[in-house]
Amino acid sequence: MDLNVAILGGGSWGTTVAHLISRNTHAHLWARNPDTVQEINTQHTNQTYLPGAVLSPKLRASDDIEDVVKYADVVVMAVPSQHFRSVLTRITSSIRPWVPVISLTKGLEMGSNLRMTELIHELLPGHPAGVLTGPNLAREIMAGQAAASVIAMKDPIIMQALQKVFSSGLFRCYTNPDVIGCELGGVLKNVIAIAVGMGDGLGAGDNTRSALITRGLSEISRLGVALGGHAETFAGLAGMGDMIATCTSDQSRNRRVGMELAQGRTVDQITDGMFMVAEGLKSAPVVLELAAQNNIQMPIVEDVFKVITGESSPSRIFKGLLRVTAGAESEPG
């Protein structure tokens, strides 16, 4: 392949994807921090986000976003949801027409409730938009462990071409035309992971964790289908696969947030000590708003929101779960 791919965002996942792409074609990474840029270009590392990992020497980095984007044949967005709009706005004058834009971000925009691909369509009309998502833990992938992901786009020709851009070694990339379902799967599971983390932090066992993951998957599937996603998507890599990884891994930021909430720390205390973003904290109120608009009951998400806002505590939430009367498995609760 002889494509120029711009990756915007020098965090752990953006750097990892840039590393994978550089094995296949030309990858140019934009990072805000000049020190990170220099480190990637001279030492082929990003110790802040990927300690101990060695990056491809073919990967180039720059802190000049216009320079990175102006020659790009594909743009990959790897910035947190709250910065997604501002970064897209910065590249509107430098991106060439019809260049595909792929989101790696698993979040929703607060205020508008928009998915990241919806933001791409709004700010860059005419540019094909897609999402790369799945059970992808950056450090494991950089360590050479096998992993799988999904590229979701409406255009099958572009989607299949980009499948080859992202697939690398033991990192396998599948395709799925269900953009809505794939994108929502990555967003919604983060909130469930906070709930699972609270249970783990309180010393709940494997049975509790399994129940929360299963019932949480039921919740996000109901909302996802109501918003236009396909039910089968939530049983695949973008749904169940991502849910399992995020809810069980010690590398999961959202699970760690839940564990620290269970230890009595406040959201402000937790986020002040975190170097990377836990999207579930931002997504919880947006998810609840979408659920209310679509008349979908999401009791686990409601409980997480109550803890995040200080209305309740993890211990009260889990005591409440024991008093809930179980109905049919197909019902919420």
Q: Full-prediction pTM beyond 0.85?
A: yes
How confident is the model over 186-200, as a mean pLDDT? 93
Q: What is the pLDDT of residue 319?
A: 73
Domain C-terminal end among 177, 208, 239: 177
Let me know how long the chain is.
333
User: Could you tell me the two tokens for 56?
Assistant: 């491809």
Ranges 74-83, 218-227, 279-288: which has the least confidence: 279-288
Residue from 189, 282, 306, 319 carrying the catalytic annotation: 189
Is there a single domain that holds both residue 164 and residue 200?
A: no
How confident is the model over 255-270, as a mean pLDDT? 90
Read off the pLDDT of residues 204-232 as tens digits, 9 standing for 90 and up: 889 989 989 999 999 999 999 999 999 99
Residue carrying structure tokens 């919740």: 219
At position 89, the amino acid (one-letter code) is T
Q: Are 172 and 187 in contact (CB under 8 A)?
A: no
Residue 265 has a CB neighbour count (10 Å cut-off) of: 16
Read off the pLDDT of residues 147-186 as tens digits, 9 standing for 90 and up: 999 999 999 999 999 999 999 989 999 999 999 999 999 9
Q: What is the pLDDT of residue 317?
A: 82
Q: How far apart are the C-alpha atoms of 55 and 324, rounded to whole Å? A: 50
Q: What is the pLDDT of residue 210?
A: 92
User: Could you tell me the two tokens for 256?
Assistant: 């760690």
Is there a single domain that holds both residue 112 and residue 239?
A: no
Domain C-terminal end among 150, 177, 204: 177
CATH of the domain at 204: 1.10.1040.10
Question: Among this protein's residues, is 164 annotated catalytic?
Answer: no
Is there a single domain that holds both residue 161 and residue 191?
A: no
Q: What is the pLDDT of residue 271?
A: 82
Domain C-terminal end among 177, 207, 223: 177
Is there a single domain that holds both residue 21 and residue 166?
A: yes
Residue 324 has a CB neighbour count (10 Å cut-off) of: 9
Residue numbers of the domain that contains 244: 181-323
